[in-house]
């Protein structure tokens, strides 16, 4: 048996034992239940022989937590943290410590999933609603979404929205102003190319000369200038253009909102509201638009609805816009999207309130004025008269000044012709400003800060017509929690409403909710990782370089590919990036016409959505009755479409939870017809150490580091979706125009704002692989398969398991078919999902990939005891359904259809159900000792969509 003798662990394998749920005796019992004598035997029965890897992974031996932390500490110390004045959408910020410890570092917040089960997610839904309210106040628009991946991709989404809603239907032209951040321009350009739009550049004032469907402006501009956009916007709108404005969130505290200036869309990064720069991410982008465009809004919208008892309850609204329903017609491919960081930013606004934010913004602005005045006194010219926190300093010795700054540990922005950029932020002090002045004017010049400050008060740097004249954050939630005690309790109150991994197993199929070990999280808080600007000189980021290089090497080994591109910041972004690489590869061979993407019907909704964004035409291929790709249908379509075949997107093992035996044949078939194979890597947890996409014959995959490689889901993000590619695709992966990473061709456009996406969470995956090592990484896959098969076998006596592979085995997840019971009794998969809440569990994935089913993925990290508790709950629920079947309970009145039950049910004077209150809320003994109370009862989705309300409710509503 290749599995570890768990009773006989060496010290350095300690982490493996902590990561993997079942103990040695439990493992033995589970194997016995499955009628196999060893884990090897189970794996042999499950994974097809012709794709098995037999050599061990060439990654290091497992390290203990202590050794791994010591090693990554050394790597971190290779990063040199300068004071950053670079700006460009990334600023220093003070993360309020109460948020740092109680949100950022708190598994109650970071291990939750996307709030698809809103009854047990009201806490983060409320925090996200606060984020939307904050966005509305600051942007001056009518409707905001919860969060997007970064500013640059949000700008690209704004362009797509403009195309959908613009009345200038004939135009294919999109205008991007000259003073937009270069990384934003890069990402928008790339997106436009594949949508078939043309980009035109120019000064914002030139916008009206163009006949375009939309435009992107920036406020303040990338070089710091504030201009009145109102006449520019009005002129463009008169010509039926949709105008998007990318804005700085802190500047908006003092400036008239872009909405008030007429903008149709306002977007930007919420990073400087208390989220570390982290060498580029993760951060949340905000996005707001007019109410009229609500059906075109990308990403998630949190809305207010009612629960069964008539109470207000929050949920994700208008989901019919999204990829899991609209597939290739979706507004965007956004799935995982920075929820944790949006929540941090919204708590930052709660923590500071409107007065605190104004104080911060005013201080930053005043310091900038002092700096400006000091420079002017020394006859140094500023490019712009009007600014908020960023100066563009004209110099004829900019190199010399920059060298002086670097020598003193300061980073300035250097990509202006003959000028240097300086951006101040909430961490800047008057001492910093004096040091900066000394850098510019030379050390021998006298600086009198007091005098400068006096003079600065008379300076006008924000034109009076652009001063904000409307209040912000008037809602009570932003004005109520002033003391730290109150903020702490507010955070805790919301946390308590949410079920996360620190309460019980979250068996969401395809989501891989495994252990996010504390040791893996610890380095993320270190300033050597958190305080790095993504565009700092690369000699300062040697720690990151070493970390990323090593992680890439490991991932190359794990995937069987030749190289990794670390830029995409979600799985769906990885899909997009991978498809672009395929299209560019085809184009490089003269195959510009290849535009068909085959996608099996079982695919995740992001696949067709991403294909559409890459300019591909989706052709769906059928699955047979065993859930496998229908080879006849695939062969016919591949042959018929061979001339224009671009690729297939296939998930392996499939989302049906089995290892398709024909996977090699599928790869060969597509290759024969000139196509490429994109293997969706979301299910890598069933491959690591056992097989690999590269070995199987695929050309490119994304990895969800937030699934397989232990980055927590954060309640719906962050994530990382790096892609692995075979060497022939390597020249076509994303590069970056601002900072070259030395590997990827710098001339390739970017898909994300930052060169390494959400770099600051890469230490988590590094720690994961360092501590598991070659043996543990493989064990993780083996135990994921063991746990899933054990669960499937035990449940199969009670519910049909929809698909199994040869030998009756499932992969690392399985689908429970609820349709026969629904037919027989009327009880739905939704009722079962909600009833599981009463038993203290999060529901499995509902109705994906097959409507009317539940997909369960226990992962390797759950112990037999926890899995048994889940199975027992499911069996008990089955018995409850039997009572509906037998007529003991009617379909109208039973504990399933009224689930989940809440405290109000217990205390309701009029309990009129045919089952007891006790059965309602304590359906098992296990629940009594560890009850999780859903805070609202079943939510009415239809009501919420019909009466769309996406801002904070008046405070009484919460009481
Ligand atoms: C999660 C998932 C994705 C999308 O990944 P995100 O990181 O959420 O964008 C794609 N495909 C499959 C099969 C998935 O499970």
Q: Return the exposure string of 214-247: e unless at least 16 CB atoms fall within 10 Å of the residue's CB, then b.
A: bbbbbbbbbbbbbbebbebbeebbebbbbbbbbb
Calculate how far, in angstroms, residue 604's C-alpha sits from the geometric centre of ligand 1. Answer: 7
pLDDT at 3: 60
Quickly tell me which residue has 């501009």 as its tokens: 221
Report the atom number in ligand 1 closest to the C-alpha of 606.
10
Residue 806's pLDDT band, with cuts at 50, 70 and 90, is confident
Residue 522's pLDDT band, with cuts at 50, 70 and 90, is very high
Residue 447's pLDDT band, with cuts at 50, 70 and 90, is confident
pLDDT in tens, 463-508: 999 999 999 999 999 999 999 999 999 999 999 999 999 999 999 9
Which residue owns the Cα nearest ligand 1 atom 2? Answer: 682
Calculate how far, in angstroms, residue 91's C-alpha sits from the geometric centre of ligand 1. Answer: 30
Average pLDDT over residues 668-677: 98
N-terminal to C-terminal alpha carbon distance within the chain: 58
Calculate how far, in angstroms, residue 872's C-alpha sits from the geometric centre of ligand 1. Answer: 29
Report the atom number in ligand 1 closest to the C-alpha of 573.
9
Angle at 416 between CA 741 and CA 468, to 5 degrees: 105
Report the atom number in ligand 1 closest to the C-alpha of 651.
13
Calculate how far, in angstroms, residue 603's C-alpha sits from the geometric centre of ligand 1. Answer: 10
Angle at 839 between CA 838 and CA 841, to 5 degrees: 100
Report the atom number in ligand 1 closest to the C-alpha of 706.
7
| Cβ 607 vs Cβ 599: under 8 Å | yes
User: Taking all residues of the chain, what is their mean pLDDT, rounded to a whole number?
Assistant: 95
Which residue owns the Cα nearest ligand 1 atom 7? Answer: 571
Report the atom number in ligand 1 closest to the C-alpha of 707.
1
Which residue owns the Cα nearest ligand 1 atom 3? Answer: 571
- Among 300, 571, 600, name the best residue to mutate to test ligand 1's pocket (greatest count of ligand atoms within 8 A of Cβ): 571
The DSSP 8-state label assigned to residue 102 in this structure reads I
Calculate how far, in angstroms, residue 813's C-alpha sits from the geometric centre of ligand 1. Answer: 15
pLDDT at 444: 78
Which residue owns the Cα nearest ligand 1 atom 15? Answer: 510
Taken in order 79, 80, 81, 87, the sign of the CA dihedral is negative
Quickly tell me which residue has 């490429």 as its tokens: 676
| Cβ 554 vs Cβ 637: under 8 Å | no
Candidates 622, 631, 632; CA nearest to 660 is 631
Calculate how far, in angstroms, residue 765's C-alpha sits from the geometric centre of ligand 1. Answer: 17
pLDDT surpasses 70 at 742: no
Burial of 107 (0-12, 13-18, 19+ CB in 10 A): middle
pLDDT surpasses 60 at 202: yes
Candidates 63, 57, 74; CA nearest to 13 is 63
User: Among 166-180, 439-453, 810-824, which stretch is predicted with the lowest mean pLDDT?
Assistant: 439-453
pLDDT surpasses 90 at 11: no
Average pLDDT over residues 46-63: 96
Average pLDDT over residues 376-385: 96
pLDDT at 324: 83
Calculate how far, in angstroms, residue 156's C-alpha sits from the geometric centre of ligand 1. Answer: 20
pLDDT in tens, 611-638: 999 999 999 999 999 999 999 999 999 9
Q: Which residues does a 6 A CB cutoff place in the pocket of ligand 1?
A: 335-336, 510, 570-572, 604, 606, 651, 655, 680, 682, 704, 719, 721
Write down the pTM of the prediction: 0.97
pLDDT in tens, 759-784: 999 999 999 999 999 999 999 999 99
pLDDT at 959: 61
Burial of 396 (0-12, 13-18, 19+ CB in 10 A): exposed
Report the atom number in ligand 1 closest to the C-alpha of 721.
7
pLDDT at 321: 84
| Cβ 331 vs Cβ 298: under 8 Å | yes
Adjacency order of strands within the sheet including 143-144: 143-144, 285-289, 265-269, 242-247, 214-219, 173-177, 198-202
pLDDT at 956: 74
- Among 579, 604, 705, name the best residue to mutate to test ligand 1's pocket (greatest count of ligand atoms within 8 A of Cβ): 604
Report the atom number in ligand 1 closest to the C-alpha of 575.
10
Residue ranges per domain, the chain? Answer: 524-770, 783-945
Report the atom number in ligand 1 closest to the C-alpha of 333.
9
Calculate how far, in angstroms, residue 336's C-alpha sits from the geometric centre of ligand 1. Answer: 7
Q: Note the helical H segments in 202-265.
A: 230-238, 251-254
pLDDT at 227: 97
pLDDT at 958: 64
Candidates 862, 872, 870; CA nearest to 843 is 870
Helices (H) and strands (E) in the chain, counts: 33, 25
Which residue owns the Cα nearest ligand 1 atom 5? Answer: 571
Calculate how far, in angstroms, residue 724's C-alpha sits from the geometric centre of ligand 1. Answer: 15
pLDDT at 290: 98
Average pLDDT over residues 661-689: 97
Which residue owns the Cα nearest ligand 1 atom 14? Answer: 682
pLDDT surpasses 90 at 448: no
- Among 507, 574, 656, 680, name the best residue to mutate to test ligand 1's pocket (greatest count of ligand atoms within 8 A of Cβ): 680
Candidates 637, 618, 725, 624; CA nearest to 676 is 725
Average pLDDT over residues 173-200: 97
pLDDT in tens, 278-328: 999 999 999 999 999 999 999 999 999 999 999 999 999 998 888 888 898
136 has which bridge partners?
none
| Cβ 266 vs Cβ 132: under 8 Å | no
Q: List, in sequence order, every beta strand (DSSP E) within 133-269.
A: 143-144, 173-177, 198-202, 214-219, 242-247, 265-269
Measured CA to CA in angstroms, residue 730 lies from 58, 584, 585, 652 at distances of: 22, 11, 9, 22
Calculate how far, in angstroms, residue 845's C-alpha sits from the geometric centre of ligand 1. Answer: 13
Average pLDDT over residues 168-188: 97
Which residue owns the Cα nearest ligand 1 atom 6? Answer: 571
Report the atom number in ligand 1 closest to the C-alpha of 680.
11
- Among 322, 511, 611, 682, name the best residue to mutate to test ligand 1's pocket (greatest count of ligand atoms within 8 A of Cβ): 682
pLDDT surpasses 50 at 76: yes
> In terms of C-beta distances under 8 Å and separation of at least 24 residues, what long-range contacts does 171-174 make, across chains too?
171/211, 171/212, 171/213, 172/196, 172/197, 172/198, 172/213, 173/197, 173/198, 173/199, 173/200, 173/210, 173/211, 173/212, 173/213, 174/198, 174/199, 174/200, 174/212, 174/213, 174/214, 174/215, 174/216
Residue 526's pLDDT band, with cuts at 50, 70 and 90, is very high
pLDDT at 947: 92
Tell me yes or no: is domain 524-770 CATH 3.40.640.10: yes
User: Among 384-398, 449-463, 861-875, which stretch is predicted with the lowest mean pLDDT?
Assistant: 449-463
pLDDT at 1: 47
Calculate how far, in angstroms, residue 803's C-alpha sits from the geometric centre of ligand 1. Answer: 21
**Helix-strand-coil split of the chain, %, nearest 5:** 45, 15, 40
Candidates 243, 238, 248, 246; CA nearest to 263 is 243
Calculate how far, in angstroms, residue 61's C-alpha sits from the geometric centre of ligand 1. Answer: 30
Calculate how far, in angstroms, residue 680's C-alpha sits from the geometric centre of ligand 1. Answer: 8
Largest separation between any pair of C-alpha atoms in the chain:
93
pLDDT surpasses 80 at 115: yes
- Among 704, 757, 761, 846, name the best residue to mutate to test ligand 1's pocket (greatest count of ligand atoms within 8 A of Cβ): 704
User: Span 783-945: which CATH code?
Assistant: 3.90.1150.10
313 has which bridge partners?
305
Calculate how far, in angstroms, residue 606's C-alpha sits from the geometric centre of ligand 1. Answer: 7
Calculate how far, in angstroms, residue 918's C-alpha sits from the geometric centre of ligand 1. Answer: 39
Residue 746's pLDDT band, with cuts at 50, 70 and 90, is low
Calculate how far, in angstroms, residue 89's C-alpha sits from the geometric centre of ligand 1. Answer: 27
Calculate how far, in angstroms, residue 682's C-alpha sits from the geometric centre of ligand 1. Answer: 6
Cα torsion for 686, 692, 697, 702, to the nearest 10°?
Answer: 80
Residue 25's pLDDT band, with cuts at 50, 70 and 90, is very high
pLDDT surpasses 80 at 593: yes
> Higher model confidence: residue 1 or residue 74?
74
pLDDT surpasses 70 at 675: yes
Which residue owns the Cα nearest ligand 1 atom 8? Answer: 336
pLDDT at 953: 85
Calculate how far, in angstroms, residue 719's C-alpha sits from the geometric centre of ligand 1. Answer: 10
Average pLDDT over residues 778-798: 98
């Amino acid at each position: 048996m290749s599995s570890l003798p768990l009773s006989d662990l060496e010290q350095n394998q300690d982490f493996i034992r902590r990561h993997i749920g079942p103990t040695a005796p439990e493992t033995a019992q589970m194997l016995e239940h499955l009628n196999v004598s060893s884990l090897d035997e189970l794996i042999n029965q499950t994974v097809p022989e012709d794709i098995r890897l037999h050599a061990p992974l060439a990654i290091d031996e497992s390290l203990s937590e202590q050794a791994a932390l010591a090693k990554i500490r050394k790597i971190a110390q290779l990063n040199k943290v300068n004071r950053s004045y670079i700006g460009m959408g990334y600023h220093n910020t003070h993360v309020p410590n109460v948020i740092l410890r109680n949100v950022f570092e708190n598994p109650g917040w970071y291990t939750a999933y996307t709030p698809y089960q809103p009854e047990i997610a009201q806490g983060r839904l409320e925090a996200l609603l606060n984020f939307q309210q904050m966005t509305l106040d600051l942007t001056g628009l009518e409707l905001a979404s919860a969060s997007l991946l970064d500013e640059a991709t949000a700008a690209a989404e704004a362009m797509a929205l403009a195309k959908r809603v613009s009345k200038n239907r004939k135009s294919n032209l999109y205008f991007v102003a000259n003073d937009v951040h270069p990384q934003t321009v890069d990402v928008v350009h790339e997106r436009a190319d594949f949508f078939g739009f043309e980009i035109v550049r120019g000064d914002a004032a030139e916008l009206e000369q163009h006949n375009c469907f939309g435009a992107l402006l920036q406020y303040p501009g990338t070089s710091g200038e504030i201009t009145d956009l109102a006449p520019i916007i009005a002129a463009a709108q008169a010509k039926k253009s949709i105008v998007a404005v990318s804005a700085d969130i802190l500047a908006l505290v003092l400036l008239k909102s872009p909405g008030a200036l007429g903008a149709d869309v306002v977007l930007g990064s919420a990073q400087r509201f208390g989220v570390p720069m982290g060498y580029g991410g993760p951060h949340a982008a905000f996005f707001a638009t007019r109410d009229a465009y609500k059906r075109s809004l990308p990403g998630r919208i949190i809305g207010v609805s009612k629960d069964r008892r008539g109470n207000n309850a929050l949920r994700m609204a208008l989901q019919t816009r999204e990829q899991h329903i609209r597939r290739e017609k979706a507004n965007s491919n956004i799935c995982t999207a920075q929820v944790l960081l949006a929540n941090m930013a919204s708590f930052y606004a709660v923590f500071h309130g409107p007065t605190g934010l104004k104080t911060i913004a005013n201080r930053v602005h005043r310091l900038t004025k002092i700096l400006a005045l000091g420079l002017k006194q020394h006859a140094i010219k500023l490019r712009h008269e009007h600014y908020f926190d960023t100066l563009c300093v004209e110099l004829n010795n900019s190199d010399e000044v920059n060298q002086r700054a670097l020598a003193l540990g300061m980073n300035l922005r250097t990509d202006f012709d003959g000028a240097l950029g300086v951006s101040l932020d909430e961490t800047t002090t008057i001492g910093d400003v004096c040091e900066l002045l000394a850098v510019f004017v030379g050390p021998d010049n006298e600086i009198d800060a007091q005098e400068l400050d006096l003079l600065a008060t008379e300076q006008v740097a924000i034109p009076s017509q652009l001063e904000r004249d409307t209040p912000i954050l008037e809602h009570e939630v932003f004005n109520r929690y002033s003391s730290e005690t109150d903020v702490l309790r507010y955070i805790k109150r919301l946390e308590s409403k949410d079920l996360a991994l620190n309460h019980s197993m979250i068996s969401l199929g395809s989501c891989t909710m495994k252990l996010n070990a504390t040791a893996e999280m610890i380095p993320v808080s270190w300033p050597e990782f958190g305080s790095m600007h993504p565009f700092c000189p690369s000699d300062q980021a040697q720690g990151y370089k070493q970390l990323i290089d090593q992680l890439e090497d490991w991932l190359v080994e794990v995937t069987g590919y030749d190289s990794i591109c670390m830029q995409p910041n979600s799985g769906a972004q990885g899909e997009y990036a991978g498809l672009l690489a395929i299209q560019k590869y085809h184009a490089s061979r003269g195959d510009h016409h290849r535009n068909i993407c085959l996608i099996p019907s079982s695919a995740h909704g992001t696949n067709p959505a991403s294909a559409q964004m890459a300019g591909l035409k989706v052709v769906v291929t059928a699955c047979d009755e065993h859930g496998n790709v229908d080879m006849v249908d695939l062969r016919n379509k591949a042959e018929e479409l061979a001339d224009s075949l671009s690729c297939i997107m296939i998930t392996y093992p499939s989302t049906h939870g089995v290892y398709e035996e024909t996977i090699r044949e599928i790869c060969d078939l597509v290759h024969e017809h000139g196509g490429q194979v994109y293997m969706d890597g979301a299910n890598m947890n069933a491959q690591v150490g056992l097989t690999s996409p590269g070995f199987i014959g695929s050309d490119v995959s994304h990895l969800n580091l937030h699934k397989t490689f232990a980055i927590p889901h954060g309640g719906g993000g962050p994530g990382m979706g790096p892609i692995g590619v075979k060497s022939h695709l390597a020249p076509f992966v994303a590069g970056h125009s601002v900072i070259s990473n030395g590997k990827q061709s710098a001339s390739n456009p970017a898909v994300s704002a930052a060169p390494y996406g959400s770099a600051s969470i890469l230490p988590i995956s590094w720690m994961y692989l360092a501590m598991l090592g070659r043996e543990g990484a493989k064990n993780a896959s083996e135990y994921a398969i063991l746990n899933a098969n054990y669960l499937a076998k035990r449940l199969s006596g009670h519910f049909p398991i929809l698909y199994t592979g040869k030998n009756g085995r499932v992969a690392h997840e399985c689908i429970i078919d609820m349709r026969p019971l629904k037919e027989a009794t009327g009880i739905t998969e939704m009722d079962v999902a909600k009833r599981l809440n009463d038993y203290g569990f999060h529901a499995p994935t509902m109705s994906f990939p097959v409507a009317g089913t539940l997909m369960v993925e226990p992962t390797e990290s759950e112990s037999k005891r926890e899995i048994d508790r889940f199975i027992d709950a499911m069996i008990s629920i089955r018995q409850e359904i039997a009572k509906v079947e037998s007529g003991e309970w009617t379909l109208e009145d039973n504990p399933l259809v009224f689930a989940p039950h809440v405290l109000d049910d217990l205390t309701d004077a009029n309990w009129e159900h045919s089952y007891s209150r006790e059965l309602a809320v304590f359906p098992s003994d296990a629940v009594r000792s560890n009850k999780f109370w859903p805070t609202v009862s079943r939510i009415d989705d239809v009501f919420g969509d019909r009466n769309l309300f996406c801002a904070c409710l008046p405070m009484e509503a919460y009481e």
